[in-house]
Structure 1
């Protein structure tokens, strides 16, 4: 879920903390404080025992979107689990220069580690490199910095895998229905982001295995309004549709609104992220939305845990290696009516 504004274990406010089933990756933003946090318990490994005090700096885009709001909540909740962690979050912002200045303030404060979800990895690469060069380990969350010298560890969702999962769901169903030349539409998130391009490539590659291609593709902005606008345009341009993949469940709220307004029911839709809103639609059985592919905001809580381990010179307890891995890619799972009850408690509110 991850990007210029926007978005992208234990339960916290409707998002998963720690382990990470869910998913939304995206980007964008729209704050949502509807859920309350439940107090998660630690797993109880030696790694969770109090150790050296660590100050962890945190910077992310503004929470103008459900997935990003869940990112911030998860990061803070994970930090609160550890008496040896001081969590130092800077003001979230969608302004590149403001985020750079905020990260610089954390570097000046000589924090022990940094967790950064950049608005844009390319544009914040230099300040992340500045932190790394100053000896501050950076855990890069979701939107990746292009220079590997800029971060110690990257953790994020499998954007390509999201596209693959969506493509297989759509391709298999259309094959089963015997549709020869299906009209398949794709509503992307922010088109300039590498994560969006990865999602589209995974989708196209999976559809190709069934002999299908995307009929039309249009980008949105990971927001409800952009979802409404783009879906309205596509619905007007295509009088008959067989399947639709929307990259992001937050903008999917707008996509579904446009579909209902147009009274179109001849096709089925797959979402992306794993929002509670989308899962309730899937569970109802009365929506065109039949599935969503995950991209979990739980990655933020895992990022904080990793930053703590790195700063304390520890590795991951379930791995043989002494150090935390250089990159961790979370799996993208497909949520349908058959398994939605398992995932619903883990969804974030759009």
Structure 2
């Protein structure tokens, strides 16, 4: 788990930890172990503070993870020396806790740096078996988040869909466009592309944050999908630039599709931006024109649209 996970889930876990610390303090009071009440009683408000901080901005959420980690370290440091029969269990907690709260690289570095401290606090001291067990745990525990990150990176590399909206990425779109051009020439059909630019996208992200940006993108893609055919292809070719590939469509037909999309977008209303503004144009494939020539034409037209 890292600070990039769900803030509400992290806040709930931190609050649960604070509740457990309160329960621990009460337990020590009930059994008469008064000298062990102070630490959990002091750390529980810190965990509640971390729970609230995790709901804030990214920097504050990252700081809350370090605050929780510090609380965990203090608890383990005071408990570890007295647990002769459970040394390896308590010795492994700092490494696992660090890997749960921090990114993999930072967590691994911190675990290696703090290894002498935990080994000295352990009742068995700096024995070779204990040191080897600790290092093996650090390596083994780090394999799980590393595998998750590797699979996530592989998924991103092979997923043809854009991460922010339901449009194809640039490379898959270009591959499909080239295939459609070959099919168009083979069947002696027509091919057109509607070029759409969202000038509000950058402003929505800067002024209203990520949710407004995602709402704008999702609304745009939804409206485009509603006003085109199932076999038409919408792809994101730039930050705010989209190409709608229209197989077996003339330039006049593409113009009608573009006009319907622009009218529908203007009627849509978002809380932050109001109506959706879009700048668009159309390009039709000329028989005999190569893919690279058609691509350069589309890219040049897209740049002109973005420049206004």
TM-score by length of structure 2 reads: 0.28
Structure with greater Cα Rg = 2
Q: Which has the higher contact order (CA 8 A, sep 6+)?
A: 1
Greater percentage in strand: 1
Greater percentage in helix: 2
